[in-house]
Amino acid sequence: MWPESMLVQSDIACCRMAGAQYTGIRDAVIGQVEIHEVCKAIVDTEEFQRLRFIAQCGFGKFVFPTANHTRFEHSLGVCHMAKLILDCLEKNLDDDVVVITKEDKLCVQIAALCHDLGHGPFSHFWEHFLKEKFDKTFIHEEMSEKLLDRIYENHEKVRNVFKKHNLGREELEIAKRMIRGVLPEDKTKNYLYEIVSNKISGVDVDKLEYLQRDSHQFGMNCFVAIDYLLSTAKIIKLPDGTTTIAYREKTTYNLLGMFLNRAEMHHRCYQHPVTLAIELMFSGALKQAADNDFGIDYKENGQVKRRKIDECHNHLNEYIKLTDDIFMNIYNSLSDSLHEARHILKRILHRNIYVLVLKENITKEMNFTDMNYNKLKTIVENSLLKELNNKYNGQYEFHCKIVVINMGGTSDNPLKNIHFYNKHNEITHQDNYLDARFYSKDSNFVSKVCFIFCDFGGTQKPSDDTIQAIKKQCREEFDKTFQRKSHVNSFISSTK
């Protein structure tokens, strides 16, 4: 069991609301966060407390020192926002549209709280690492569902508080589907499945919370008036009987700000070149460690055994022990087999990281924009990187990152998929949405960016002349690969 000081009781105030006990937690970003006692029981488990040790923004904290917040506080915030929007939906509810039950509300709040349970070390980094190196089928949302099952099965306190509020296995399955954003057969319940993970419009409490929190921690501005936006949320019924969440049409610019904010955060923070370089380096160190049996120890029939880190996602007992601590565990290891991995981590800590030698948008003129990530990466690796490695005869090692940045999870204008209503309570026609192309960095709403990094090895950084010569060569090979007229000089001057 986790120490009492680790649990949220240490800084809480309890209050009675709507006949149920809520726990109030002071949050530096949101203010007062309110957590229902069902959710509180889940929070006080080792499966959930593990999120305290998983960075929300991965290696972003290596570039932005204050971006050291974790999945723990984000998950509490999403749960709180789910409660807020449910309260607003109930307040704005028209007669005969739907009935929002207490059980509905609790299912949404459970899903909101547990949607990120399945993240591995350094959050999205782990998912990308596993998919690229070991298991292409890994999805953190599915792991979240497995861990939610584990919490319910292994903790009697959780089952008891579920029972107290008329919740059981059926409601647990509903919460799991909400985590995935899988719409129900009952169309009148659709709106509930849009709150945590909205696969249609991209407007959900997960996105709103991380934009607010991440912006604050990165020292950026958040352009979304979240309280105002949520206050206009309203359940409407479409002609086919499907329910969905609509917003006042005067919130259009607010919602546009959300999508633009998301893209801007990716361009300036999440996909910062130094963060990407460190990800590449740690990925190499982790692969080397995995190949040398680095993992999590466990007992079987009284004997201590070791589960390799690339196998832990298939074994929940070991997976819940995987946190960001693996970085320092490798670094502090005395094993001779981890010498190479330790050397890479030492380079990261000494800021001897890979050097960015090319950053270029893959534009629609290149006829490659319709290709997915894997195809683009294959082209870059088999053509561009191969030519560079041949050119320098193995003297330097080149690595690539292809980053896809969109405004709202779809290449189409995200505002198209949102329903609005006016002051007369009339549903606004979808053709009246604001054309976000005017505001977007890319008229296709999607940016595909190619990053090329060079590992010069050793401890001494090469001269500026050497780096500039390599940048020039990279640009020439990039233009050749993507069949575009070279403009090397402009690139070199812009990256000095």
Annotated active-site residue in 36, 69, 140, 272: 140
| Spatial distance between the Cα atoms of 128 and 141, rounded to a whole number of angstroms | 13
| Spatial distance between the Cα atoms of 24 and 128, rounded to a whole number of angstroms | 35
Token couple for 268 = 């300036």
The total of other beta-carbon atoms located within 10 Å of residue 426's CB is 10
User: What backbone phi and psi angles, to 5 degrees, belong to 482?
Assistant: -100, 15
Rg, the chain, Cα only:
24
Give start and end residues of each alpha helix (H) in 181-267.
205-218, 226-231, 252-265
- Per-residue b/e over 176-206, b at no fewer than 16 CB within 10 Å? bbbbbbebeeeeebbbbbbbbbbebbbbbbb
The total of other beta-carbon atoms located within 10 Å of residue 297's CB is 10
CA separation (Å) from 177 to 86, 92, 114, 136, 337?
18, 25, 12, 22, 43
Active site (annotated) includes residue 128 = no
| Spatial distance between the Cα atoms of 77 and 88, rounded to a whole number of angstroms | 17
Q: Which helix (H) or strand (E) holds 283?
A: helix 273-291
Token couple for 280 = 């590449």
| Spatial distance between the Cα atoms of 52 and 19, rounded to a whole number of angstroms | 30
- How many helices (H) does the chain have, and how many strands (E)? 19, 12
| Spatial distance between the Cα atoms of 382 and 384, rounded to a whole number of angstroms | 6
Q: Which residues are catalytic, by number? A: 140
